[in-house]
Chain A
Amino acid sequence: MATRVAQLPAEAPALSPERPVTWPKRTKARLANGLEVILAESHAIPKFHGQLSFRSGNAAVVDRGPGLAEMTATVARTGTKLRVSRQIEEDLRRIGADLSSSAGADTTGIGFAGLSELAEPLLGLVNELAREAAFPEPEFERERRQKLEEVKLDRTQPSFLASERLRKVLFGAHPYATVAPTESQVVAYKRSDLMQVYEEFYTPENALLVMVGDFDTAVMMKSIEKTFGAWTGKKPTIKTAPDPAHPKGRRVYLVHVPGAVQTQILAGCHAITRKHADWIKIGLTNSLYGGAFNSRLVMNIREDKGYTYSPRSGVHALRQYGYFSVSAAVRSDVVAASLTEMFYEMDKLRSLPVPEAELADARNYLSGVFSMSLATQDGLLSQLATVALNDLPDDYLETYREKVRALTPADLLATARKYFDSANMQIVVVGDRAQIEDQAKLFGDLEIYDAQGSKL
């Protein structure tokens, strides 16, 4: 046995015929109070995952205080009219559940997961947090002190410093420019401000409840009606925000971290939201550029040149605006070399059609990965919530792969020319000034900041 010569083909076997993907059945409903509900069954484990989302987040109240929606979500879980903080946490454990509450720029969410056999008490607790949070004074004070330490810690993270600067540069006066509060802004939070946000945001007309898991849809829908049916509240009024900055020309922003042993690069430009007709095109173009292991950028600056472990690019869709970005943490002596390759690959996609074979690989990649993302309860939950919160069409899941497969080299060329705006990329480098300033300034006018955000 051990001496036998390998009998295997020297070529990789071809793909066998594809088995059709069965898209999960969804049941949608709107309760009389306006609460939108989406349910999908998934029986792999005797559990379920859920998310109660509100279509308002930090951006809507940035003028009252950056991060105020996030702080509201944090304190909302620390006490209700019926339960103190400790009781809430123990009750969650008693029913084998996990719960989180947080807010992003555009939405606020209570995420939860628990055992199917104990779904009722978990729904009851979610309902209580959404409707009867008490914002106890001592809990508020404690969470605020906690947040102060967190915002200080954030400023020691290279990736935080990079994205904070890029968002400032891309969005200017628009609320999306702010990713986190300063220490003094945290100190200025008032309990009454949180309660006001709670009152405005946490209403059934503003809410979406998505649940995926091991339950019977009809039974679960009844439970939901029973639990949330008596809740009332209007949609909050939306204020119009100032237009974002649209910076023209490449500029470089260096965030100086003394003693850094590596440089975090992050470059970006304005792109589109998920609702835009080009969304799937930019997704595929990004996947070819730096969105997959097999992408051009990863092959170039990681597998060929060894400049970095972690190069990637992505399209970040906020509700009103989106942006494209590329990042890598690189050896500090190859900052200029890495940026050169990032732009080279971007410009190549803007100038030359993608060879048909490479495009076919990328199409397969994106459509395969898309179906896998639906294979777990929380994966499916996140897709369903994304579709609903972005008001995408109901058949988004079913038609996504066809749309990906229809794209041509000409589509990609046009997409790259439109959105991989290399002439106007804003470049952030976070590292030790002494090692990278000379390299950074080769790419555009340079501004230098410290980790606290002050211009040097």
Chain B
Amino acid sequence: MNRNQIAMEYTTLANGLKVVIAPDVSAPVVTVGVYYKIGFRLEPQGRSGFAHLFEHMMFQGSANAPKMQHIKLINSSGGLLNGSTHYDVTNYYEAMPSNALERVLWLEADRMRALKVDDENLRNQRDVVKEEVRVNVMNQPYGGFPWLDLPPVAFRNWANAHNFYGDFADLDAADLADVQAFFKTYYLPNNAVLLVLGDVKADEGVALVEKYFGDIPAGAPPPFADPREPEQKEERRGEVEEKFGTLPAMAIGYTVPERRTTDWCAMALLDQALHGGRAGRTYRELVLEKQIAVEADGGIDDIFGYNGPTQMVTRILHKPEYSAEKTLAAFDAVIREIQEHGISEDELNQLKVKWRSDYYSTLEGGRGGMPRYGLMHLLACFTLFDNQPQLVNSILDGFLAVKREEIQAVAKKYLRPANRAVVFRAPAKANVKEAA
């Protein structure tokens, strides 16, 4: 078995900035990422959506690179850039021909050192973000379903349960003081990891990072609210109206075991057994065999990229002639089957081969035309959460060691009503009439 090991250099600068260099000189292309350990889970109360709005502000200008300069300098070097906000991290990344490496490091250092934005920039990006929410959520059939619908039903701690894209009132209330305070609190070298992947030599990479980031002052370690959940005692249910779509939908979320435990590894393969495309039990039973559903898939989203309570989510769109209760009963039968009979050795072997194959694709996978996004993401999360980027080379072992009994055991232990939330998203009445 070819194990696909990634060579890397990991070091920490005096100001606390963690640095991972993963050289691969096969093409003159380099990917740079800066990950800050703050996501929407821990944004301030009364400021829902702020972590994401703030991410937009990071493209609005810094001390020596005013608005538009970041985008212009990178695009005009033949590169691409973007950023994204996650539960527990926010990332900024660029991929470009390697002759632009210093330029990109200069830019990232400039905005880590001093964000420079004004009220006009904030007003502009607030408008942009509202259109983003409309195009992705409010004006889309099943928009935000279930990633925005499940958390308020499933969780009790505000950190895990609030609207991550942001209530418009909260977005409107955010001001420049909030922006500067958030920057000062969380956007610190000692709360970040910088990654350089691709066409760079390890020692030269470290020297360049030292040159541009070495004198950015560290700050006080940021406060982190406790994201833990009180114990759940019974199943939780909620309803959301679907404004545009024609089919009733539901999402079932089970809270998953703590990351990097044996149970977590078994849960990941159980997820693969239940979801994982057309061979998955949920799709096979609900869509192919019983033909109750039109769509039935899901899983643990971004399994290496979160660091707090999360769920394995099944998303089902079903035919209107089947009631929600009937559909849920059919799903429950799939769960019961695996709890009572477990899975065969043959199925487990299939799951492991597919898991390994998918993992390699994650490592190689790009995003939006940018190579090595997947590898960067894993290295960054393993560094910020575990202080061990090398996990990228060994994390697979835990999944490949899972035994049949462990799959059945986690199915019994975690796939219980008292560990789940169900959200029903039924088409609005008027909509049903119009469709008929």
Contacts and interface: CB of A to CB of B under 8 A. Distances in A.
A347 interface: no
B199 interface: yes
Given A6-B215, A114-B357, A376-B366, A152 B106 contact: no
B64 interface: yes
Nearest to B289: A86
Nearest to A89: B279
Of A20, A45, A152, A330, most buried by chain B (CB within 10 Å of CB) is A45
B134 A294 contact: no
Contact of B360 (A45, A118, A306, A307): A45
Contacts of A33: none
A19 interface: yes
Given A12-B106, A46-B4, A156-B246, 15 more contacts: A15-B99, A19-B98, A45-B363, A93-B350, A98-B277, A117-B2, A152-B435, A292-B75, A303-B124, A306-B127, A307-B131, A360-B76, A364-B77, A369-B79, A371-B78
The number of chain B residues touching the other chain, given as a range, is 35 or more
B100 interface: yes
Interface stretch (A142-150, A170-178, A407-415): A142-150
Contacts of B110: 8
B232 interface: no
Contacts of A11: 64
A251 to B, nearest CB: 24
Contacts of B353: 93-96, 115, 118
Interface stretch (B26-34, B145-153, B155-163, B174-182): B26-34
A383 B78 CA distance: 18
Contacts of A85: 288
Interface stretch (A254-262, A267-275, A387-395, A434-442): A254-262
B129 A309 contact: yes
B218 A2 contact: yes
A375 B107 contact: no
Of A16, A361, A375, most buried by chain B (CB within 10 Å of CB) is A375
B78 A365 contact: yes
B243 A368 contact: no
Interface stretch (B136-144, B385-393, B395-403): B136-144
Contact of B128 (A153, A292, A302): A302
Interface string B97-131: 11111110011011001000000000111111111
The number of chain A residues touching the other chain, given as a range, is 35 or more
Nearest to B215: A4
Interface string B367-403: 0011110000000000000000000000000000000
B169 interface: no
Contacts, number: 250
Given A44-B364, A331-B131, A372 B4 contact: no
Interface in A125-153: 142, 145-146, 149-150, 152-153
A17 B102 CA distance: 12
A368 B77 contact: yes
Contacts of B96: 368, 372
A97 interface: yes
B128 A309 contact: yes
B72 A21 contact: no
A367 interface: yes
Contact of B99 (A18, A94, A294, A309): A18
A400 to B, nearest CB: 13
Nearest to B244: A156
B2 A116 contact: yes
A230 interface: no
Nearest to A116: B2
